[in-house]
């Protein structure tokens, strides 16, 4: 079923614009402010089969105070874990501003009956997660079942209660920008609080053209409806330089309203350390080495 009237995307033009914005030169104060924003926007993530409570606790420590001894570096936005580790994270983050996000709906494939997905969500929310990162059923979406996907997102949104819902489109599996735009429209219509690119388990994960397209979508959605939806770029963003390029896109496409941790996020793990290295370098002018920053 295809009910949405979705205008076309020109792939080359979109990629050209993303590449053009990537040539912005972010220096000095702008870089400092940018790096600080990046830290505030990070969902510090661990989604491995071998995750342990200990690893999650270490991650939470890092989330609360990313650079020990430098109070200017803010806490990250959230810690993102599997549902069973939500209680660990909640406990470790008591008293901080850091949110607990959990992937749910049978992450990463999303291939399960709806009831199980909803149970998954309710479990994570009950355990204290304030943000839910759901995956859409790409198989259903690709075979044209947009109404079904829309219904699932709406149902998950309801199951979230007060928790905020990020909808992972897994853009690397959708094949074309036109499909990505359709997926954006489905998620926006279903009530998503955030559009999120990827699980991190599929390559390519987040790319700048895809995020640019999502930014254009949430911008136009806001202008049409007044509702602000956030964007989360997840997976594959490892360097401060790359993250700043994303921020430039946010800045020049959506502007001030989206340059906030509740409107733009990076889903990442190794990104934080590179940002911290750049931060320290900006402070004392020396290039840093990775081994001086804890690998959590």
Partner 1 sequence: MSDAHEGTGARPAVLKTWKLFVGGALPRSESGRTYQPAAARHCNVARASRKDLRDAVEAARKGQGSWWNRDAYNRGQIVYRIAEMLETRATAIVDELVACGVEQEVARREVEASVDLCAWHAGLCDKVGVLLGSQNQVSGPFFNFSTIEPTGVVFVAAPEQPSLLGLLALLLPPLVGGNAVIALCSESAPLAGLAFGEVCASSDVPAGAINLLAGPRAELVGHAAAHRAIDGLLLAGRPEPSVGAEAADSVKRVRWCDAEWDAPGLAERVRRLDWVEPFVEVKTLWHPVSGW
Partner 2 sequence: MQNDGRSNAESAGSERPTLSFGAAWQYAPAPEASDWVEIPDRRGLFLDGAFVAPASDQWFESINPATEAVLGHVARADASDVDRAVQAARRAQPAWAALPAEHRARYLFRIARLLQERARELAILESLDGGKPIRESRDVDLPLCAAHFFHHAGWADKLELAFPGACPEPVGVVGQVIPWNFPLLMLAWKLAPALACGNTVVLKPAETTSLTALRFAELLQQAELPPGVVNFVTGEGPTGEALVTHPGIDKVAFTGSTAVGKAIQARLAGSGKDLTLELGGKAAHIVFEDAAIDSAVEGVVRGIFFNQGHVCCAGSRLLVQESIHDAFLQKLVRRMERIRVGDPLDKNTDMGAINSRAQLQRIEALVAAGTSDGARVHQSGCELPGKGFWFRPTLVSGVSQADRIVREEVFGPVLAVTTFRTPDEAVQKANDTPYGLSAGIWTDKGSRILWMASRMRAGVVWNNTFNRFDPGAPFGGFKESGFGREGGRQGLAAYVRRPGGLVQG
Question: Which positions are catalytic?
Answer: 133, 196, 232
Strand partners, 233: 266
Residue 72 near partner 2 by CB under 8 A: no
**Cα 167 from Cα 215, distance rounded (Å):** 14
Sheet strands (E) in 96-211: 99-104, 131-135, 164-168, 194-196
For partner 2, which stretch binds (CB under 8 A), given 54-62, 85-93, 120-128, 222-230?
222-230
- The angle subtended at Cα 138 by Cα 132 and Cα 142, nearest 5°, is 150
* Angle between helical axes of 240-253 and 271-284 (0-180°, round to 10): 90
- Residue 2: helix, strand or coil by DSSP? coil
The reply on whether position 34 binds partner 2 by CB under 8 A is yes
CA–CA gap between residue 67 and residue 73 (Å, rounded): 6
Nearer to partner 1, 10 or 72 (CB): 10
Q: How far is the CB of 228 from partner 2 (least distance, A)?
A: 5
Residue (97 or 239) nearer to partner 2, CB: 97
Contact letters (x/-) for partner 1, 2-21, by CB under 8 A?
--------xxxx-x------
Count of residues that bind partner 2 according to CB under 8 A: 50
Q: Which is nearer to partner 2, 54 or 226 (CB)?
A: 226
- Residue 284 structure tokens: 């004392």
Residue 11 or residue 126: which is nearer to partner 1 going by CB?
11
Q: How far is the CB of 143 from partner 1 (least distance, A)?
A: 20
Per CB under 8 A, contacts with partner 1 among 48-87 are none
Q: State the DSSP string of 43-67.
A: EEE---TT--HHHHHHHHHHHH-SS
Number of chain residues interacting with partner 1 (CB under 8 A)? 8
Q: Would you count residue 296 as binding partner 2 (CB under 8 A)?
A: no
By CB under 8 A, which span of 11-19, 60-68, 113-121, 146-154 interacts with partner 2? Answer: 11-19
x-or-dash pattern for partner 1, window 174-193, by CB under 8 A?
-xxx----------------
Please measure the distance between the N-terminal and C-terminal CA atoms of the chain and give it in whole angstroms: 45
User: Cα 265 from chain centroid?
Assistant: 5
User: Minimum CB separation from partner 2 for residue 262, in Å?
Assistant: 5
State the nearest-atom distance from the C-beta of 84 to partner 2, in Å.
22
Q: Which does 223 bind (CB under 5 to 8 A by kind): partner 1, partner 2, none?
A: partner 2
8 Å CB contact between 155 and 165: no
| Rounded-to-integer distance, Cα 93 and Cα 97, Å | 8
| 3-state secondary structure labels for all residues of 140-202 | HHHCCCHHHHHHHHHHHHHHHCCCEEEEECCHHHCCCHHHHHHHHHHHHHHCCCEEECCCCCC
Question: Is residue 97 within 8 Å of 107, Cβ to Cβ?
Answer: no
Binding positions for partner 2, rule: CB under 8 A = 7-10, 12-14, 16-17, 23-31, 33-34, 37, 77-78, 99, 130-131, 164, 193, 216, 219, 222-223, 225-230, 247, 251-252, 254-257, 259-263
Binding positions for partner 1, rule: CB under 8 A = 10-13, 15, 175-177
């Amino acid at each position: 079923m295809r009910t949405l009237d979705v205008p076309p995307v020109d792939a080359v033009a979109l990629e050209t614009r993303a590449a053009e914005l990537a040539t912005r030169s972010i220096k000095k104060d702008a870089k400092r402010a940018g790096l600080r924003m990046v830290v505030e926007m990070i969902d510090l993530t661990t989604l491995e089969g071998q995750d342990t409570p200990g690893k999650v606790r270490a991650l939470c420590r890092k989330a609360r105070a990313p650079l020990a001894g430098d109070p200017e570096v803010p806490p990250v936005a959230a810690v993102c874990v599997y549902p069973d580790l939500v209680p660990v994270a909640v406990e470790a983050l008591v008293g901080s501003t850091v949110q607990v996000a959990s992937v749910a709906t049978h992450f990463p494939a999303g291939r399960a009956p709806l009831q199980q997905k909803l149970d998954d969500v309710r479990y994570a929310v009950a355990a204290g997660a304030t943000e839910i990162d759901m995956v859409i059923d790409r198989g259903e979406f690709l075979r044209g079942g947009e109404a079904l996907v829309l219904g699932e997102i709406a149902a998950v949104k309801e199951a979230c209660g007060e928790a905020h819902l990020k909808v992972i489109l897994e853009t690397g599996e959708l094949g074309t920008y036109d499909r990505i735009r359709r997926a954006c429209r489905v998620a926006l219509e279903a009530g998503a609080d955030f559009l999120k690119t990827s699980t991190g388990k599929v390559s390519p994960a987040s790319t700048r053209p895809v995020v640019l397209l999502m930014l254009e979508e949430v911008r136009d959605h806001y202008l049409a409806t007044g509702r602000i939806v956030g964007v989360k770029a997840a997976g594959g963003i490892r360097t401060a330089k790359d993250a700043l390029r994303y921020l430039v896109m946010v800045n020049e496409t959506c502007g001030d309203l989206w340059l906030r941790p509740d409107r733009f996020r990076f889903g990442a793990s190794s990104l934080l350390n590179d940002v911290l290295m750049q931060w320290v370098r900006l402070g004392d002018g020396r290039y840093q080495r990775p081994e001086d920053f804890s690998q959590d």
